């Protein structure tokens, strides 16, 4: 299969990067993983059978690289807490004026609650939510990635949203 790798890179860099960022929450690491994804895709382009879209295939490569990186890091470094991480850029909250310090603090606390809930969410709900929300994948692409239907992806995403909402509601009681 002969294709223009530069065109492929331009077209899919952003979605692959955003997906990697949703998994690793580190822009520099996400950039490295995205670069490695395209490097591996170039080496393995003859293995691409066209069963999934190129975007899904590239995201699958990125996902495997993210998991490999996480395994390597867990063996070599102690687990770090994310208490000092404000979560900025990972989850967009409803728009507000943002000028009120109380409002900013509330938004920051809500973002952290959402990240904690998402961190504890069971699979496949966690991954489907991340693919849809942070990776901008369509339900058809998510279903394809899991070898399931588009309807399965929609239902799983809806259930994950409901789980997050329930946890947020319980926290506010």
List pLDDT tens digits, range 20-34: 888 888 888 888 888
Average pLDDT over residues 145-165: 87
What is the Cα–Cα distance from 158 to 128, expressed in whole angstroms? 10
Res. 171 pLDDT band, cuts 50 70 90: low
- pLDDT at residue 99, as a whole number: 52
Instruction: Give 57-71 pLDDT, tens digit per residue.
Output: 888 888 888 888 777
Average pLDDT over residues 46-51: 75
**Does residue 70 or residue 80 have the better pLDDT?**
70
Q: CA of 72: how far to CAs of 19, 60, 63, 66, 77, in Å?
A: 20, 18, 14, 10, 9
Average pLDDT over residues 51-80: 73
């Amino acid at each position: 299969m002969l294709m223009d790798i530069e065109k492929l890179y331009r077209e899919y860099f952003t979605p692959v990067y955003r997906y990697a960022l949703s998994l690793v929450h580190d822009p520099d690491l996400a950039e490295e993983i995205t670069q490695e994804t395209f490097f591996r895709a170039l080496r393995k382009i003859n293995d691409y059978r066209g069963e999934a879209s190129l975007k899904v295939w590239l995201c699958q490569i990125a996902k495997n690289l993210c998991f490999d990186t996480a395994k390597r890091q867990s063996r070599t470094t102690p687990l770090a807490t994310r208490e000092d991480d404000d979560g900025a850029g990972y989850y967009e909250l409803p728009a507000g004026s943002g000028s009120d310090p109380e409002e900013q603090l509330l938004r920051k606390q809500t973002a952290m609650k959402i990240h904690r809930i998402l961190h504890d969410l069971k699979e496949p709900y966690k991954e489907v939510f991340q693919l849809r929300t942070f990776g901008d994948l369509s339900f058809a692409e998510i279903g394809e990635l899991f070898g399931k239907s588009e309807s399965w992806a929609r239902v799983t995403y809806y259930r994950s949203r409901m789980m997050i909402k329930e946890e947020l509601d319980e926290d506010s009681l």
